[in-house]
């Protein structure tokens, strides 16, 4: 048993009136002992549930991210004309709406914008469909690649995926605790702020509840993260909705308040119904977009891609971003990007399966 960890646990687990927030360095130390499991299983479970009840602060999350930086794998910078986008979204997946980020990633990469996604398998407590399974319906399996191979694919195609079970096994070791306590611990919030890329990038953080955005802003400010976007997206993801106003925060410099951006889909002719999730139909729906057959999913992909093309400085405004997204799909460049990704990964498969 770790006596040091027990002292930190006492601070967050003392009850409504006497519990205390951890300092950034204390939160870093606690997370380090949890990741390495220097703390006992009983201590880790108690910390997770009590920290959830207390609610984490931005300072605590900054310290937790410091520990993730020490142990987590990060893709290294690559040659590209634009700054990479890193999309951080809930690891426990989707259960109601169609995930858009894989197709959005293909559009961005077709425009020479590097894109990094990250996640794992089916994770409690939601057990929704994860990004890895969505990619698999496109014939792309990230789960067999070691980190060196993932870096190689990123350099070749401008699409990177950090798969937690293989690339950050210490964090994957916490998944069973999430299952046992039956609730999302603050580590589930941490995933929304985690950036597994080592260079300058535009970090996009999805959220559901407004306090999460406030915690993100504080944590990013303390850590010197200036370029970020917060999105009140579909099921807490980075996917912009079409059936309501998009609530977006733009971070420019550490310490400065978030600039609020409200995007109304109807103002751009994109108001509509967000595509419901039908797992058996995912492959056909995505192939229809790649073949430029139109429909609600294609409209959602254009809506999202147009926004991110604009914020990546590929386009000067939202309208030109939407126009470019349409052209990239219609010209077959997005389908070609998927073919390029297939080819690059296929060349690695004999090595990956040895």
List, for residues 299-341, the tens digit of each pLDDT value.
999 999 999 999 999 999 999 999 999 999 999 999 999 999 9
Q: Is residue 318 part of a domain?
A: yes
Coil/strand/helix, residue 200? coil
Averaged pLDDT for residues 143-149 = 97
- Give the model's pLDDT for residue 12: 95
Averaged pLDDT for residues 223-251 = 97
Beta bridge partner(s), residue 216: none
Q: pLDDT for 76-133, tens place per residue?
A: 999 999 999 999 999 999 999 999 999 999 999 999 999 999 999 999 999 999 999 9
Averaged pLDDT for residues 285-296 = 98
Of the chain, the end-to-end C-alpha distance in Å amounts to 39
Q: Is residue 29 part of a domain?
A: yes
Separation CA 61–CA 74 (nearest Å): 18
Separation CA 22–CA 28 (nearest Å): 9
Q: Is residue 290 part of a domain?
A: yes
Mean per-residue pLDDT over the chain, rounded = 96
The DSSP code sequence of 201-270 is: -EEEEE-SSHHHHHHHHHHHHHTT--SEEEE--GGGSSPPPSSS-EEEEEE-STTSPPEEEEE-GGGGT-
Separation CA 209–CA 330 (nearest Å): 36
**CATH code of the domain containing 168:** 3.40.1030.10
Separation CA 48–CA 188 (nearest Å): 10
- Write out the residue range of the structural domain in which residue 14 sits: 3-55
- Give the model's pLDDT for residue 348: 87
- 43 and 93 part of one domain: no
Q: Which three-class secondary structure string do you get for 89-114?
A: CCCCCECCECCCHHHHHHHHHHCCCC
What are the CA-CA distances from residue 121 to residues 26, 47, 97, 142, 302 (Å)? 30, 24, 18, 11, 27
Separation CA 37–CA 44 (nearest Å): 8
Q: Is residue 60 part of a domain?
A: no
- 184 and 270 part of one domain: yes
Q: Is residue 183 part of a domain?
A: yes
User: Which token pair is 224?
Assistant: 């010197």
What are the CA-CA distances from residue 133 to residues 85, 169, 251, 262 (Å)? 21, 19, 31, 31
Residue 1 scores a pLDDT above 60: yes
- 157 and 295 part of one domain: yes
- 51 and 94 part of one domain: no
- 26 and 155 part of one domain: no
Residue 114's φ and ψ, nearest 5 degrees, are -65, 145
Domain count, the chain: 2
pTM for the whole structure: 0.96
- Give the model's pLDDT for residue 354: 40
- 46 and 89 part of one domain: no
Measured from the Cβ of residue 30, the count of other Cβ atoms closer than 10 Å reads 28
Averaged pLDDT for residues 61-90 = 97
pLDDT category of residue 349 using cuts at 50, 70 and 90: low
- 15 and 150 part of one domain: no
Averaged pLDDT for residues 44-64 = 96
Residue 195 scores a pLDDT above 60: yes
Residue 224 scores a pLDDT above 90: yes
- 28 and 152 part of one domain: no
pLDDT category of residue 350 using cuts at 50, 70 and 90: low
- 161 and 14 part of one domain: no
Cβ atoms 311, 202 nearer than 8 A: yes
Task: Specify the DSSP element, H or E, that contains 306.
Answer: helix 296-311
Q: Is residue 117 part of a domain?
A: yes
Q: Is residue 192 part of a domain?
A: yes
Q: Is residue 158 part of a domain?
A: yes
- 245 and 120 part of one domain: yes
- Give the model's pLDDT for residue 351: 46
Separation CA 167–CA 75 (nearest Å): 10
Question: 């605790």: which residue's tokens?
Answer: 177
Cis peptide leading into residue 270 (ω within 30°): no
What is the maximal distance between C-alpha atoms in the chain? 62
- 51 and 92 part of one domain: no
User: Which token pair is 45?
Assistant: 């479970």
- 98 and 247 part of one domain: yes
Of 106, 16, 22, 79, nearest to 331 by C-alpha is 106
- Give the model's pLDDT for residue 17: 80
């Amino acid at each position: 048993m770790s006596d040091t960890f027990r002292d930190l646990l006492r601070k967050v687990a003392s009850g409504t009136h006497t519990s205390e927030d951890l300092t950034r360095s204390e939160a870093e130390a606690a997370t380090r002992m949890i990741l390495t499991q220097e703390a006992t299983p009983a201590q880790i479970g108690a910390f997770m549930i009590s920290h959830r009840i207390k609610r984490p602060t931005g300072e605590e999350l900054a310290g937790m991210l410091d520990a993730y930086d020490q142990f987590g794998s990060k893709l290294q910078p690559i040659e590209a004309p634009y700054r990479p986008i890193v999309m951080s979204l809930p690891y426990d997946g989707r259960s109601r709406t169609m995930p858009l980020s894989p197709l959005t990633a293909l559009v961005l990469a077709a425009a020479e914008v590097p894109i990094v996604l990250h996640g794992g398998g089916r994770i409690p407590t939601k057990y929704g469909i994860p990004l890895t399974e969505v990619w698999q319906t496109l014939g792309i399996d990230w789960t067999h690649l070691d980190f060196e191979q993932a870096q190689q694919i990123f350099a070749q195609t401008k699409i990177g995926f950090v798969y937690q079970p293989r690339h950050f096994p210490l964090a994957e070791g916490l998944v069973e605790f999430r299952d046992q306590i039956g609730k999302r611990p603050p580590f589930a919030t941490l995933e929304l702020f985690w950036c597994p890329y080592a260079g300058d990038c535009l970090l996009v953080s999805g959220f559901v509840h407004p306090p999460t955005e406030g915690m993100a802003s504080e944590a990013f400010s303390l850590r010197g993260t200036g370029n970020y976007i917060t999105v009140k997206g579909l099921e807490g993801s980075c996917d912009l909705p079409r059936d309501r106003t998009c609530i977006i925060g733009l971070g420019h410099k550490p310490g400065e308040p978030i600039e609020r951006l409200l995007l109304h889909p109807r103002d751009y002719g994109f108001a509509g119904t967000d595509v419901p999730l039908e797992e058996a139909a995912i492959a056909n729906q995505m192939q229809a977009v790649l073949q430029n057959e139109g429909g609600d999913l294609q409209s959602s992909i254009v809506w999202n891609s147009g926004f991110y093309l604009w914020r990546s400085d590929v386009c000067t405004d939202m309208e030109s971003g939407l126009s470019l997204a349409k052209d990239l799909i219609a010209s077959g460049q997005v389908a070609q990007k998927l073919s390029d990704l297939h080819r690059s990964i296929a060349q690695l498969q004999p090595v990956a399966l040895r």
